[in-house]
A and B are shown apart, each in its own frame.
Chain A
């Protein structure tokens, strides 16, 4: 079911926005300047964990700055992320706080006509502290009896709940009978894993500009993955009707999950704008941004059992998540982490305990993969260990037990279940195995000398969206408006944000395919919340699968209206169903026709013109679409590394990345997702972490980019050594058979890299990142 019959889908069409991006003409939030604009700066507490008695703003105000403190903003708690339904949304946020709980907790903010003045004013704000506590930087320490309470009362929906032992949320689950299963197992393995607290390092730091319009409405230009949820939150927090707020869809300089929520910088710019009556822009510095968000640090204890035959008997996971000082999506992630675990392999009997624990660190938020890179690393490492124990090829063990075609899948957590209808895992493993030369792989004991190569395999998946047949706890739907212009071109209007992967251009191709209109005649309209129907968020790899299907359905509706108009123009046709539409190569436009009849043919442009000239009205459609499943995009990585046993450094030598994404809309861009996914996953396995200073609660790197290494050009494998393969699958529920890819492209990487390192040197690591220091240390102990 390849894409050979498609006119536009599956063909590489260079991106239309590439040139303006290359020239630097495309404007991101921080690039927008308006006359009379004030520059805002945020003021943070010098202590990560304290209660403030008093804030002295007099000096700042005497410099002419607008100043806001907690008393200028509403007191009611909220959550900055609105994706879950209200009843399970945990709320512990304020715009500004008198009780800072991490070093990046905003306590005040200023705005002034120049950045220089704003900075001076920010520095002039003084605090008197009621109490200063020792920072709490470890989840287990935070749960101990003598740890101070980081938060006492928070809201769950509208209900007040008391936090005990700093556990912000809990989720437990069991299915089957673990005790019996354990008795029936021939092998039981138990290991504890700890993941790194990575920083997203999206190239654009978070920014926001809030503009008061002359009629009192607010226009907001900000870094976000969701313009609608941003508008709703601004409305809720400040008590402004949504019809008075317009949030613009502005290109975003990378996000990787860091702007699923509405950023505090956005709310602060609104608060400053409301107080000053002037436009206020705030651009976070890199240091501020690094204190603003990080990944979830997971402490995963896994126990798994199997029979000699390789049949799994049970799987148990204990997940202690260090969530930092606030809840963004801690509770839903507890469910999703479980979802990743149970949807990787058929454990049959399952036990899960999850706890989200507050610490006085930067709040954790989603990071590309949403817990799946962490869980997959642990599971893929452990499955390799199990294979060794059973003397089996890990590929055989994994293929025997993986959750695939026809199985129930609930990657996005217990409330979002659907059946798997497309699965290319076997094909990818078969082909990948050949390309990497798996069968020639030697055990670690066969490696000698300074440089040792190892080959590792890891697999995983990600959902496409968070939809399902029943409503569940997650809000997940998209919308699209499509209108046929008077010359036959189209305007496509959506709230869906493109992170840069080319999602909106993929939508244009989907519309093009449905209507036979060349993609360049489809305008992707710069949009805002006022002119678009709701779209929840570009997260969960849902942009193509859900948003693209919304666009396709809008195109389908337009098509049936076009056929009605065609019936008016060619009245010999019995009814609109007699017509078809296709792209005519010779005319270079869409034509509506009846098969086998030469004279029954009219171009889309002629129909559009007739509808206008004869007062039939504009042909347009708006849809709101919820998917009834969230199909997994399966991915596999084969990685060959070279370990230098003298320095401990590791290099990726060869990579085979395989993806089962259904129909690739843009193969080259899909490849690019896998390149980017690999490099990010490599970095997770080997480079990144944000450790804290025990005494001060500061980041060790103080938020400086110099001390937060991410891969450069020199860290990636060469072009020739990076192979990408796509499975030949078709997802029946996706637009033209497509599934999402953004996150699946990353999820298996750390597992594959860890397994490759093991294959090179025979050492397993249970803490990420696997740094050269750790490697050296392990080798010096062993030899």
Chain B
């Protein structure tokens, strides 16, 4: 860490903000490539069966058409063959293979790729492809297929500590079922890929990805190429939320199509294709049993969760993990199952297991609080876990109590009348609700390179991604603190598989992992500069290492008496630049601890007594995510997370017509992402205390913690307002009738 901490924590505006608002930032679909052709995928109409025949004649004759590709004429990526096993170690099973054969696995799956000289012509040609099917009845309703539930091969599906049946003997027992909906990422930027083959053995792909190294690996495996020969470029990403964590049909269709026509090819999804041609948040059914004594001490917890997956792959996002770590309780058992359906494979979606899991657990706790007549916040405090109740490890840091205290004070929780339906404002029933959030804090191995130029500028590089959260900004701040070089002279480069490999942007891992790597690389660079200094004629030559300070682009003595700028040092040494690359990972010391980020969310809702219109009036989100690296971008993350939570609680849902296995809600008119009118003032309180065990920079993860518990807090507030408990999301006005 720089001796003179200045930048970390500052509410610096995004270093790429101007590029974005002026349109200069280039997203995947915006690269101008000579001789580019345009591809649009035609989506299939049935959910299960086979393609009997495809008539492409009309499409082929349409103006500007270059080729129509189907499973009958598509070049098959060699990695598709013989592989029952997934080339993707992150999901179990065989990944969906575009244009591989005539089998239909889900409704809307790509059946043809129309390639033309403009996007519009390709889209029209795609509409002319006529497919005949052999239909089989699809199974897409999770609740009527529960008998097909399977034990997931990945992740620990079952967990037990203590006595499984302890709650049977508890003075108070409680048991309920909860459901969460199909939720769709719906980033503003559609999924897109441009594939440019450079001969038969090398390819460049411009795409939307949260990890260029993963996209590189996936494409290299599919085409059996040398990894170095696959170049992924993804400099800017217009929102992803987990949905761009693996390669999807747009990349594969672009590489297949480009191979076929011998020209660079761009494939961009239509909005309806963004609903299920890529992953989505699976629906869930969860069962919770709680046992407590009369003082609210939890005697036993059982949490059971079922999520849907596809028939060809297992996607897991364990919804019960948080239950193992959140509350002090000796007897906890959890179970997790998957229900394979004729749908596409779901994927990671902001706080994948935690968001739905916390809805069930934190709703149940609220219900229990009414049975026990104990304030919901007090109930949680009485079950505060002072160490990890599962591993018995100490926490690296945990400031959840501060979240409770500060959040409650800011919100005015003490004004809450415990009686449901007791508070009104005109015709509106007013309710207060709260919930706890927990999200694992990790640090994954990552590398970074720091290059100091003789003009005093610093370039820091790492193959991570910035899906819009402000990574480039924070990394520049960390580099500034570590080297003493002003932020304006620092450039952070990401989103390219040729940069030093690093974790992608998911799991709230980027700041902890890449931030630590950037810090370590910059500290190493600083040491290297000092080594040159020692060899120089400078008057600083004999200064003991511990007496150096770094600031204003200079190496100086701590008392500021003598200094030399990095630029002067390099010029004197006739060095055009110096650089270091560092592989960085967590310390062994950190393994002895358990690390999580926390939040306490407090919500006020208003529900119209007659029409059930619902409004979130206020949200206070108190967050413990370690040291906050940039208060401005961090606050924006929490605004986004809370908004996601509001969408999950109240408005967002896609619906499948199970007779056809077809998604019926697949545009932004009917899929209701919260609009400004749904989003109240959100007050974000950061505890902002360093976790120096997890990372040298003090940060824990922040990207996801803000959503965890929000849906439950809102549902709890709705109950408090109306006396009606809604256990299946979203809480739309019809459910309150």
Q: Do A and B bind each other?
A: no
B residues whose Cβ falls under 8 Å from a Cβ of A: none
